[in-house]
Amino acid sequence: MEMIQRPHINLEIDEIDQFKVKPNDDELRFGATFTDRMLLREYKNSEWQTGRIIKHQNFSLPPETIVFHYGQEIFEGQKAFTQESGKKVIFRLDENAKRFKKSAERMVMPTLEEGYFEESIRRLVEMEKDWIPKKRGTALYIRPCMIATEPALGVHASTEYYFFTILSPSGPYFAEGFAPTKIKVEDKYVRAVVGGTGAVKAGGNYAASLYAAKIAQEEGYSQVLWLDAHEHQYVEEVGAMNIAFVLDDVVYTAPLGGSILPGITRKSVLQLCDDLGIKTKEVALSIDTIIEGIKTGNLTEVFGIGTAASIAPVGVLGYHEENLVINDNKIGDVTQRLYDELLGIQYGSIEDRHGWILPIE
């Protein structure tokens, strides 16, 4: 039974009379198909207008729109699951709401009223619940976003915005699924600096990361592992995930020092480690320590942590022309236990002991 009262928000709901054919769970890729409806709310004349649930559709914006020139844009990512009992749920949407607010503040964008983000998205997902796939490993990916829509050139914060959310039934983020990936340690380019925007989910962070990712992909790696911008020594995070290392039976992940994204999966995994009696340290390891650990055998596992990929084992780290193999390129015990625990809670085979699951009606 739901204990928390849902806030009342006004939403206009458009009738739609054409529905798309839903893809089979087995055919799903990541972020390639979108549901019938979306959420759209405009900000203009210094206030938020009434939000609308409308047919998934194109925007028509003049070419001088601010977001096209100065990249004033933020977004979020979360998932809805069909649990084993058939119940449909969303994972930790309140955490996305908090991070979205921080991103908006950092990018000089208006914030939403308390509770609006969660309730409007929950209503959209409820209307689209038949789109939530069922197979383990699939989910309905939720993509909230805000863009600057004032039509005017000149670098300044926009006076108009769209807050919108689209939904995408999705399969595995990496083509290989839950299997070890190959990641390149990037020692030339950097993702974010302390004092910059790395700790919020701004589109510009991702645009800035593409060049290094392209080179890494040409070299046969799936993503880049970023080092700190100052010394190029301390491991920060991966392209779309935080990262953890198992060294001497302790799970290490970089602290939230201002240049990495405070991942919701990272926060969940730290809690799950506590629950399972696995020691953790929020300490940034240097790449030298990591290489030495791999060579001595003390560093036994590496895994990425993020909403899109959930827990992604890393089998190979490429650094300075050398490919270092971790745990024989096999999924390690800690990685497997955390994966089973996290997915168990998401798919309902393990009790939601921390209140992470938001039911939808």
In the complex, the smallest distance separating the C-beta of residue 271 from ligand PLP, rounded to whole angstroms, is 13
Q: Out of 263, 313, 318, 348, which residue is the one contacting ligand PLP (CB under 6 A)?
A: 263
The least CB distance from residue 171 to ligand PLP, in Å, is 17
Among 140, 241, 270, 272, binds ligand PLP (CB under 6 A): 241
Q: Binders of ligand PLP among 58-117, rule CB under 6 A?
A: 77
For ligand PLP, the binding residue among 35, 83, 165, 242 (CB under 6 A) is 242
Among 280, 273, 277, 334, CA closest to 302: 334
Coil/strand/helix, residue 241:
strand
**Stretch of 80-88, 236-244, 295-303, 328-336 lying at the interface with ligand PLP (CB under 6 A):** 236-244
Beta strands in 228-309 (DSSP E): 235-238, 242-247, 250-253, 279-281, 299-306
Which CB atom, from 236 or from 301, has the smaller least distance to ligand PLP? 236
Non-local CB neighbours of 351 within 8 Å, separated by 6+ positions: 345
Of 14-22, 134-142, 263-271, 330-338, the segment contacting ligand PLP by CB under 6 A is 263-271
Sites for ligand PLP among residues 191-230 (CB under 6 A)? none
Asked if 318 touches ligand PLP (CB under 6 A), the answer is: no
Contacts 24+ apart (CB under 8 A), 231-237: 232/187, 232/190, 233/286, 233/287, 233/288, 234/284, 234/285, 234/286, 234/287, 235/185, 235/284, 235/285, 235/286, 235/287, 235/290, 236/191, 236/192, 236/260, 236/284, 237/191, 237/261, 237/263
Report if residue 133 touches ligand PLP, rule: CB under 6 A. no
Per CB under 6 A, the segment of 3-11, 16-24, 260-268, 347-355 that binds ligand PLP is 260-268
